[in-house]
Homo-oligomer: A and B are copies of this chain.
């Protein structure tokens, strides 16, 4: 071989070797995934289907049966036992960790040796009538002990005696009407009020404001009977001997009344009872309509307008006091209820997130019940239990969510959302920095008609997407999705052709998470037909209420059987609710990009701003005189709209292979809700801090957004100094505009 030829051969060899090497190198380079969390979204959705399919009606039935055998009031031995059982079972289901988290909060119980009741007394002080000391116990539960009789938790003690005044629902407008139109002064009287329309604690607050020395609350059949339905146990209406328990605090989100702002730990400083938040200063007591009739039928005074009349066979006279025949008789309340600092227990379970352990998706609901809690809250507890079981099954198959999931069984919700609020206070910094969303799990059913969802606007799209993947639970609807079933029954009417989603109100455990901390939140349950006239009494309550209701609400008749016999015999409705609640946390925890839609938030804000501006327009001259304008708010809403559109466009272009780029945009999505929190709180309510979605102080505007502006407008209508009130309106518009601008800013590119 010649030298040249050899050289050429060598060169050729080197070229080949280099080329092969280079080819290998290039393929190796590109074959390597640029990062491990390049999530396979079809794998995730396969797991979603498995997760939803795993949930079984029979299992939910079992869970509900198991946890409704005994009364388990907050602070009692039995409620601790259920907590321990939940902890044990959640661990068996496969959660990574479950812990009991105790707090020492102010609770309130009747005095066991001195029962509460209300009497009619004659001129000699003899009790000629006494209300019942307990509800008749339903069949099968006769031997159960520790059923707490109906009472108003945190009532003041006392034996006030005096004349009755009937005050309808005890709303602000009822008291205005009483005072201004009927000319009746309530000072020093005992008021009798029917349950409904507003939160009972507000009735008590209103009664105190007008100087009443006691307040009796009763369930009128007009509000707690559905037409054509038998009372329990033959149907699901409230028996005449049944009464609604409940706390009568005005906490405005403070949690434990003695430790506002801080968790009620052993070392925590406690205010004295006098300085406690929201404790009523007058005795309060609830009765059933069987007892109420005895008080009402003797009453004298004016006949009220028709909308003050309930469905009892009495005239609903206003008083004060009884008719001439019974003039010498008075009403006496005998209330011996005690406040006492008591240990409560939350159960907190966790699934550690695989890639972002410091991002939390929370599913929380309370465990404590007034008695058995067949509906409230155990229908929710059963649903959460089944969700945990299903998640555990997935874990055993190798699934692990991208983010951390936290399951919470709250204690003492019935005493003012105490367990959930104390835990939120305890973990405020972590939650503020890390919580993606909070899904609430109180009662899972309150009717037999269709789904009801209340949530923050950014969850709308996820709720729709998810319910399209869930089957309708209605027997006759084979092959129909929950979305279709729901849409058919409750369309959003004028606004849009989609199932109606409502705003989140207040009155359940999401308050501290949503209204105080600004964590995106939602709730879902099965509900009744709002449009049906037979049930209109409930509908009217639904639309604007701080609480939800069904006839046996908070009575001893909330049993396992009422669910099994009437509300959900197949347990498919509860399964559907489990799939919605569970599906929400699954998608929030496992999607690579958070399934939050900020355009929906912008759209909602525009509607809310239009509503409030329209209301203010009722006073065109004054708006001119005091130079009031909503321009800044509308301008902020436009800014938000633009920022949202732009954000979603950038989201489309996101390089999902870059974990930091994904995290940056997810953080913007997560923190959007936080942007609506004003650290200074709403006027006089430091723990209600959500500028858009806190409840208004006035029941008149209970369902409205922008509570600060509504509250100020309310004062205009009811104040002696409209100039000052308009100044407050202007200040609140300015705060709202600033807040919406700030929210828009969080969506712009971060640098």
Check if B746 sits within 8 Å of A429, measured CB to CB. Answer: yes
Check if A749 sits within 8 Å of B25, measured CB to CB. Answer: no
Interface string of A404-428 (1 = CB under 8 A from B): 1000000000000000000000111
Q: Name the contact of A265 in the complex, choosing from B28, B426, B738 (C-beta under 8 A).
A: B738
Distance from A397 Cβ to chain B, minimum over Cβ atoms (Å)? 20
**Of A24, A265, A434, A659, which is in contact with the most chain B CB atoms at under 10 Å from its CB?**
A24
CA distance A96 to B495 in the complex (A): 44
- Say whether A22 faces chain B, with CB atoms less than 8 Å apart: yes
Q: Name the contact of A751 in the complex, choosing from B27, B352, B746 (C-beta under 8 A).
A: B352
- Say whether A686 faces chain B, with CB atoms less than 8 Å apart: yes
**Which of A30-38, A108-116, A145-153, A713-721 makes up part of the contact surface?**
A30-38
Chain B residue with the shortest CB-CB distance to A677: B429
Question: With A268-B738, A660-B355, A660-B356 in contact, do A28 and B35 touch (Cβ < 8 Å)?
Answer: no
Question: With A355-B660, A734-B269 in contact, do A434 and B750 touch (Cβ < 8 Å)?
Answer: yes
When distances are taken between beta carbons in the complex, the residues of chain B under 8 Å from A751 are 96, 350, 352-353, 357-358, 360, 404
In chain A, positions 5-35 with a C-beta closer than 8 Å to chain B are 17, 20-29, 31-32, 34-35
Question: With A28-B26, A262-B734, A430-B746 in contact, do A680 and B675 touch (Cβ < 8 Å)?
Answer: no
**Residues of chain A at interface, number, CB under 8 A:** 72
**Which of A456-464, A610-618, A663-671 makes up part of the contact surface?**
A663-671
**Of A263, A265, A680, which is in contact with the most chain B CB atoms at under 10 Å from its CB?**
A680
Check if B35 sits within 8 Å of A31, measured CB to CB. Answer: no
Q: Name the contact of A427 in the complex, choosing from B34, B355, B730, B745 (C-beta under 8 A).
A: B745
When distances are taken between beta carbons in the complex, the residues of chain B under 8 Å from A742 are 426, 428-429
When distances are taken between beta carbons in the complex, the residues of chain B under 8 Å from A631 are 267
When distances are taken between beta carbons in the complex, the residues of chain B under 8 Å from A679 are 261, 428, 679
Check if A664 sits within 8 Å of B357, measured CB to CB. Answer: yes
Check if A659 sits within 8 Å of B35, measured CB to CB. Answer: yes
Chain B residue with the shortest CB-CB distance to A745: B430
Chain B residue with the shortest CB-CB distance to A727: B269
In chain A, positions 653-693 with a C-beta closer than 8 Å to chain B are 658-660, 663-664, 667-668, 671, 674-675, 678-680, 686
Interface string of A726-744 (1 = CB under 8 A from B): 0000110111011000110
- Say whether A174 faces chain B, with CB atoms less than 8 Å apart: no
- Say whether A433 faces chain B, with CB atoms less than 8 Å apart: yes
Chain B residue with the shortest CB-CB distance to A260: B680
- Say whether A632 faces chain B, with CB atoms less than 8 Å apart: yes
Check if B21 sits within 8 Å of A356, measured CB to CB. Answer: no
17 pairs across A/B with beta carbons < 8 Å?
Answer: A21-B24, A24-B27, A28-B31, A28-B32, A29-B29, A35-B659, A261-B680, A267-B737, A356-B660, A358-B664, A427-B745, A429-B745, A430-B745, A433-B667, A434-B750, A659-B659, A663-B663
- Add 20 more A-B contacts to A358-B667, A430-B750, A433-B746 (CB < 8 A): A17-B20, A20-B20, A20-B21, A24-B24, A28-B28, A28-B29, A28-B31, A34-B35, A37-B660, A262-B738, A263-B738, A267-B631, A268-B734, A268-B738, A352-B751, A358-B751, A360-B751, A404-B751, A428-B742, A660-B663
